[in-house]
Structure 1
Amino acid sequence: MNYQPVNTTTDTSFLPMISVVVPIYNGEADLPELISCLLSQTYPKDRVEYLLVDNNSSDRTLTALKTTAENCPITIRPLSENQIQSSYAARNTGIRAAKSEIIVFTDADCRPQPQWLTSLIQPFAQPNVVIVAGEIVALPGNTLLEQYANSQETLSQKHTLAHSFCAYGQTANLAIRRIALEKAGLFRPHLTTGGDADICWRILRQNIGRLEFAPEAIVQHRHRTTLKELESQWRRYGRSNRYLHELHGVELMREITPTECGYRLVRWLLKEVLRNSVKAIAGKATVLDLLNTPIGLFTARVRYTGQRDAKLPEKAKIIERLTTTENHIDK
């Protein structure tokens, strides 16, 4: 699937009503920074509604949402999804309540930059554009694992936009035209990972419209800081690959065998460590340069394990649909 990055800074005359959907689970601590980012948006405040969907949190998220909505200069609509514990089910709740033709997605732990909405919306001025993906960059981090993820640009949309099966955008920074959701269906509410790829592929492979990349529509996201968090992240990537294989026929990743892993570690010890140690003494290499290979092997092994052990739940095949009574769009 081809797409072209577009310049979103030249023409800002296209200002449709938009709905921003944010699923939140135990996000009370994230709310102040998130709301601050939403308040700083350059997009006209009277053209945006923010649908913040609590997904059965055990903290005070829903109470905080309601309090914030009462005292905020932007339109915040607190919603609740208590039936299904899934960010995709929460997004569907937001979509059903949305009043706009264009629906934008981000997450509670993301930090949208001020030009985010202005840049993300402009490609929709072309009627055949139905999906726009903005860029995701890392929040500043100092730990070794954050530096590793940053060097790999783990969060960047460039990886998903270049997917060998079909391009897609991650829901941390994504906008979809409502008509595309009406035709292709909503998120699979029981899916726990891979739902962003699934919904984009259903839209694009039905030839409903085009996907555009808006690189200046930037959302910042925090990298994982501990080995446990990194393991969970890459195991989830593996599960996603298995689910998308069963739903769309995506090619499964190949296992790095113990022999291959051992060979690469020996090569790392005998060549890379020696070379980078000399560079480090000269101030031309860092600890990250020394440990890049073993961290990469670790994430690859964890991802494969996640793929190997995953099994798509039967309920995850369900696609929710918008009904005609839910098509209450404000222009």
Structure 2
Amino acid sequence: MAKASVIIPTFADWPSLAECLSCLQGQSVSSDRFEIVIGNNNPEPALPEGFVLPPNCQVVWQPRPGSYAARNAAVAQACGEVLFFTDSDCRPQPDWIARGLALLEQRPETDRIGGYIRLYPRGEGWTLPELYDKIFGLRQDRHTARGYAATANLIVRHALFRQVGPFEETLYSSGDKEWNQRATAQGSKIFYGADVIVAHPARASFAALRKKRLRILGGRFQLRRARGKPIRPTLPKYLFPSVSVLTRLLREPGLSAMQVVRLWALDYRLRLAEFRELLALLRAGGSARRA
């Protein structure tokens, strides 16, 4: 079985990182079958006092802001044949590495896997924003059908990463999509790993959903400008509630009529916020927000 390198960027998120490392220490494969490389993106290289690293873990300091710069720095020190990308707020399930490696062995024609990201509520039940995030956020089944996957749960053969090249470090968002598009353009195949699972807390507030939405918008804006593509706001997309979103909500099992209405209204608020941000980006010439 190939050796794995787990790549985790972190920025001022040590408590969550400690939980992520605890999950990795509980993997079903032995610790000598994988290493953990943390890309420390904090302004200072020092770890918090008393922060304990597993024996198979190393930290690489990358002061250049941005999670993709931190990932690149970590990959540069990685020795594994397979790269397992995740985030400090993710909780890899005990068989995450074993299932990912086994799937690549079973599918030699595949060199990328987008694994399932299982969202969970922070409390006893789902808040409305959490429910929205569960339905619309981090849908790796949909992403992989379009040729990409989020780095919260992305598995890549190291040889492919060397071939495609590093993440675009100027991006604060959508760098994973941009990298995967380059890989697809070179003939790389991606597969959805429904049993290769990490858990991730759902966003619990409108502010958190809005922050993510605007960050992704900033990344898309940067990419289109870099590629010389025109940026033309489509007014109906932003100024009117989305019929396609309503249709999807009506098809979602287990939702009450009231939940459908409230989720649809929440989506409309997010679209209005996105439209205001897009106008601001157009006026300012484009500036991305940090993740």
Asked if TM exceeds 0.5, the reply is yes
Of 100, 122, 130, the residue aligned with 1:146 is 130
Corresponding residue of 2:252: none
1:49 aligns with 2:45: no
Corresponding residue of 1:135: 116
Q: 1:62 to 1:259 in 2, by over 3 A?
A: closer
How far, CA to CA, are the matches of 2:186 and 2:286 in structure 1? 23
Say whether the 8 Å CA contact 1:51–1:76 is kept in structure 2. yes
1:159 aligns with 2:142: yes
Q: 1:246 to 1:258 in 2, by over 3 A?
A: closer
How far, CA to CA, are the matches of 1:180 and 1:38 in structure 2? 24
- TM-score where L is the length of structure 1: 0.73
Superposed CA offset, 1:50-96 (max 9, x none) = 011210257x97235x8412xx3x501122111x1110000001010
How far, CA to CA, are the matches of 1:250 and 1:34 in structure 2? 40
Corresponding residue of 1:291: 262
1:294-305 paired onto structure 2 within 5 Å: 294-305=265-276
1:77 aligns with 2:58: yes
Corresponding residue of 1:24: 10
Of 81, 86, 97, the residue aligned with 2:66 is 86
1:223 aligns with 2:202: yes
1:205 aligns with 2:181: no
How far, CA to CA, are the matches of 2:272 and 2:141 in structure 1? 23
1:249-260 paired onto structure 2 within 5 Å: 254-256=234-236, 260=240
Q: 1:137 to 1:252 in 2, by over 3 A?
A: farther
Say whether the 8 Å CA contact 1:137–1:156 is kept in structure 2. no
Paired residue secondary structure (2:9): strand
Say whether the 8 Å CA contact 1:238–1:303 is kept in structure 2. yes
Residue 304 of structure 1: how far off its partner (Å): 3.9
Residue 118 of structure 1: how far off its partner (Å): 1.4
Q: 1:257 to 1:23 in 2, by over 3 A?
A: closer
Corresponding residue of 1:104: 84
Residue 244 of structure 1: how far off its partner (Å): 3.4
How far, CA to CA, are the matches of 1:233 and 1:45 in structure 2? 34
Residue 251 of structure 1: how far off its partner (Å): 8.9
How far, CA to CA, are the matches of 1:195 and 1:173 in structure 2? 14
Residue 107 of structure 1: how far off its partner (Å): 0.4
Residue 301 of structure 1: how far off its partner (Å): 2.7
Matched pairs, number: 270
Say whether the 8 Å CA contact 1:241–1:307 is kept in structure 2. no
Residue 171 of structure 1: how far off its partner (Å): 0.3
Say whether the 8 Å CA contact 2:238–2:271 is kept in structure 1. no
Q: 1:259 to 1:202 in 2, by over 3 A?
A: closer
Corresponding letter in the other structure for 2:110: V
Paired residue secondary structure (2:129): helix
Corresponding letter in the other structure for 1:54: N
Specify the structure having the higher radius of gyration (Cα): 1
Q: 1:194 to 1:286 in 2, by over 3 A?
A: same
Corresponding letter in the other structure for 2:139: S
Residue 253 of structure 1: how far off its partner (Å): 7.1
Say whether the 8 Å CA contact 2:3–2:82 is kept in structure 1. yes
How far, CA to CA, are the matches of 1:113 and 1:171 in structure 2? 16
How far, CA to CA, are the matches of 2:238 and 2:40 in structure 1? 43
Q: 1:251 to 1:45 in 2, by over 3 A?
A: farther
- TM-score where L is the length of structure 2: 0.82
Corresponding letter in the other structure for 1:143: T
Residue 285 of structure 1: how far off its partner (Å): 2.9
Say whether the 8 Å CA contact 2:144–2:191 is kept in structure 1. no
Paired residue secondary structure (2:74): helix
The CA RMSD over aligned residues, in Å, is: 2.9
Corresponding residue of 1:272: none
Say whether the 8 Å CA contact 1:27–1:61 is kept in structure 2. no
What residue ranges of structure 1 are gaps of 5+ in the alignment?
A: 1-14, 269-283, 314-331
Corresponding residue of 1:3: none
Residue 153 of structure 1: how far off its partner (Å): 3.9
